[in-house]
Each structure stands twice: as structure tokens, then as C-alpha cells.
Amino acid sequence: DRDRAGLDSFGDDRSSRGRYVPANMSMRVSEDFQDEVQAKIDAVATGKFFQQKRDARIIPSFDIGGVTEESAATSGSGAFCVVKEITSITLVNDATSEAQESEKVLDKASSSGDKPEKDQKPDEDPLGSFKTKSEVRRYMSDSCQRTDDSDGTKHARYAIKVLKTSNNRKDLETGLKDISIECQFLRHLGHSNICKMRGTAGIPLSPSFGIILDRLYQTLESKMDQWMYEAKQFKSAGCLGCLGLGKLDSVWKKRQHVDAITVASDISSALRYIHSNDLVYSPKMQVRHSIWRVAPVSILSKRNQSGFDVRGNIKIFDFGFCKELSKKLLDKKTGMYKLTRCTGSLPYMAPEVFEGKLYGKGADVFSYGVLLYEMLNFKYAFTFKTLKDYKDIIIDNKYRPSIDGAVAARPKDLIKETWDQDPKKRPNFDRISIILKSEYYDSTSELESRSERLSNITMKSIRLRRKK
């Protein structure tokens, strides 16, 4: 019963428990290790977050042999996993799957998908109208690619995250633990700025296992690189003195500021939702690699833990390090939690995590603050690469980079608050979201006013030329 319950959390295939399935011809995973991973999944599943009642969201499973990925189109790569575009899905033995399913509607009391928060954007989900797994399978198989209306080219709709082929047993086992835990969280998370898991493929608890996600198109890192490049181009473009507008780059900066604030606000909304469920996103929170994607590229890493979907909406993903803040982990004296120590990406790691202290939601806030600085200043916050550098700069000297004078007062003060050395003095995401929304509305209004002024001056200039 325990084994079946665990496998139910992944998919339908319960027939292959204990089977050896090589990631490549030289590497196998033992049944003892599968039991160890299953025990971790069972422990995670007992948490309060997983016991809440939610609206139904159907997650089908697929035969790994029926999922064809484009080997030349790697969407992203992390330490243990790789993400690839899916070019086609063939329904292998789907009739058998349908018979097992008996066309039952999932029990809404135990399935995933939270109701949207007030600040969530409408989430257009074509799979939300289906009632059975077989219907979802057919839709995903039939519409595996979408056609670009502008030029008729086809693009993958889904991507699959699988373990990297490895001859290193430790890496293989670590990756399998991470992807298994991530699958458990993605089944239950439901927010418009969190990447949706659409299905699973392969045999659970084996190296052949993978999770099928919405395909994203551009990492935050590549988006920020694009912003930095454009900033240099506009800065060297001179001025529009003939129109009385001053430097062109000042006009561009206001528009880019609105873009960055929009993304920052959406990310804060997702993290607010995560924290509201007493979860911490990740001690390593490499949001810079995981939050942005907007072109046919890929999906993984800290700025690589987020990306853009086909509509240009930001999505965060990579929940292998996500933790629930349970009472068992709470230290009542400090109000902090006993979580994984000194793990993650140095530029985004909170001081208390680096020092091996107890920590909580404030660690996510610090990481977010570093990301917010980078988005609004168009440059990296820190460039150190070693643990010694981090200790000397962040811990001993408490150094924080200066903030560009062009950054508005509210986000500038917010950045300073988020990377305070004391986690208890950092703002929560309720406050962060409110501040960023206010900044967005004010900046948008100012940009519209400036654009209208630009249009009026341009038309006046045209009329004067015609008279001449």
C-alpha cells in the first residue's frame, strides 16, 4: 500500500516497481535506493501543504518511449538534469491506460491546483477543461507543437526534464532525489507565475523518469543580457535635441524600468504564494537563471530558475530544493528552521545560509533582493566566485553594491531592506508585492504621459516641415 501510494503521486504505471532501468548501459539503480527515495517522498507528502483540498488538475503519465525530444534543442541544463523540447508524443498502449482509468474524474478533494490569489493574472490553460487523463493525453499528443501566426513556423509546446546521462552514481542518485521531490511539489502548486507540470514520463523512482513541463522560451539571464546590450546602444545614440526631449537613453530607461518592475512584481507574487503555504522556494534560489525565457532557447539555472512562456509571462520552476516549514523543523527560541546548510549559488545565498545558521523565509527574500538589484541596475550585484570571497565581502565587511541613482526611490529602499544582514529586518513578500505594484502603476502612468508628449512634439515637427 505504501509503495502504491507513492507511485500514485507520480503517475499510473505501478507495474515496474523494483525493476532496474539504466540511465545508460553502465549505470543501474538498486531497489534499496528506490526505497530510500520513496521514504523521502512519503515524508514530504505528510506535510500540511499536501493535505489541503484543492481544485482538480489532471497529471497523466506517458511511456518514455512515446516521447520524442529534439536532441539538438536543449532548452536548459543543470547540475544533474537536462531539459529538452518535445517534438512529438505517441500514445503507447493508451487503450490499456484508458481501461485502467475507467474514465473517472479525479477526486477534487485530493488533487492539485490552488485557486488564484487576488493579484494573480488570468491563467489561460487549455488543459483545464478536460475531465479525464485520456483526454489530456490525446490533446497533448495532437497539439504537441504550436504554429507561429506571423511566419507559420512550428514551435514545441512542451519540454521534458530528465536526468543527465552519467557514469557517476552519486550524481545520478542526487538528481533522482531532486526530480522526484520536484514532481511532488509541482503536482500541488498552482500559480500563474509558476511553470506547470503537464505530465510524467518513464518509470517512477528510476533513471528513466522525467517530468513534462510547459516549454519556456528565454531565461531571465538572457533577458537581462539583452537589457544591458540595449542600454549601451541607447546610451551611445546621442540625443533628440531637435525634438526637445533630451537624451534618448532616458526615454528608454523609463520603458525598461516598467518592464523590469513588471517582471519583478510577477516573481514576488509567485514567491508570496509559496511563502503563504509555509514553503521556502530554495536555499539556492538561482532565480536569475530560472525565471526568464522568451525565445526558442531553454530553461534552467538561477537566473535560470525562471523563464517566459509563449505569451511573455514570467514563470519560476526548479523546485527540487523546495522545503515545507513544518513544526518539526522549527526552533522555538529563534523562530527559524533547521534546513539544509550552506547550499546554493554564492551571489544569491543569504548570509545565514552561508554561515550554517537556522533560517527561514528571509533567505528567499535576500536572494530576491539580489535579483531585483540586478534587474533594475542592469549589472551583476556580486562577482566573487569562492567561499572565502563571500565571507570577506558579505559576512565580514557587510558590503552591498551602490544602487544606480536612476532607480526610483521606492524600489531602491526596498532593495536595501531585502538584503539586510538580519533576516528578521527583511520585508515579507506581502510588503514587497504591494510596493512593486505601486511602483508599476506610477511608472506606467509616467511613461504614458511621456509617450503622449513625444507623440505631440513629433506631430508638431512634421506639420512645421510640411509648411516649409
pLDDT given for residue 363 in this prediction: 93
Which residue in 230, 348, 225, 218 sits closest to 292, CA to CA?
218
Do residues 87 and 191 both lie within one domain? Answer: yes
Extended beta strands in 309-444, E state: 314-316, 323-324, 330-331, 336-337
Full DSSP string of 36-105: HHHHHHHHHHTSHHHHS--------EE-GGGEEEEEEEEEEE-SSEEEEEEEEE--TTHHHHHHHHTTPP
Residue 384 falls within a domain, yes or no?
A: yes
Higher-pLDDT residue of 225 and 71 is: 225
Q: Is residue 363 within 8 Å of residue 424, measured between CB atoms?
A: no
pLDDT, mean over the chain: 76
Residue 76 predicted with pLDDT over 60: yes
For the chain, what percent of residues have pLDDT higher than 70? Answer: 68
Residues in the chain: 468
CATH of the domain at 140: 3.30.200.20
Residue 450 falls within a domain, yes or no?
A: no
pLDDT given for residue 304 in this prediction: 53
Do residues 352 and 373 both lie within one domain? Answer: yes
Do residues 38 and 166 both lie within one domain? Answer: yes
**Parent domain of 70:** 2-214
pLDDT given for residue 158 in this prediction: 92
Residue 355 falls within a domain, yes or no?
A: yes
Residue 452 falls within a domain, yes or no?
A: no
Q: pLDDT tens digits, residue range 328-375? A: 999 999 999 998 877 767 788 899 999 999 999 999 999 999 999 999
pLDDT given for residue 131 in this prediction: 78
Do residues 256 and 210 both lie within one domain? Answer: no
Range name among 58-72, 383-397, 398-412, 425-439 with the lowest pLDDT average = 58-72
Q: pLDDT tens digits, residue range 111-153? A: 344 555 555 665 567 777 787 888 999 999 998 888 876 777 8
Residue 462 falls within a domain, yes or no?
A: no
Q: Model pTM?
A: 0.80
Do residues 250 and 104 both lie within one domain? Answer: no
Residue 16 falls within a domain, yes or no?
A: yes
The residue out of 214, 231, 246 marking a domain boundary is 214
Do residues 251 and 365 both lie within one domain? Answer: yes
Domain count, the chain: 2
The amino acid occupying position 92 is V
The residue out of 183, 214, 245 marking a domain boundary is 214
Do residues 292 and 433 both lie within one domain? Answer: yes
Do residues 242 and 145 both lie within one domain? Answer: no
* Separation between Cα atoms, residue 10 and residue 211, nearest integer Å: 9
Q: pLDDT tens digits, residue range 214-268? A: 988 878 888 888 877 876 766 665 554 444 444 455 667 778 888 899 999 999 9
Mean pLDDT of 279-285: 70
Do residues 7 and 101 both lie within one domain? Answer: yes
- Directed axis angle between helix 429-467 and helix 409-418, to 10°? 150
Do residues 435 and 359 both lie within one domain? Answer: yes
Do residues 362 and 306 both lie within one domain? Answer: yes
Q: pLDDT tens digits, residue range 83-119? A: 888 988 888 765 444 444 433 333 333 334 455 555 5
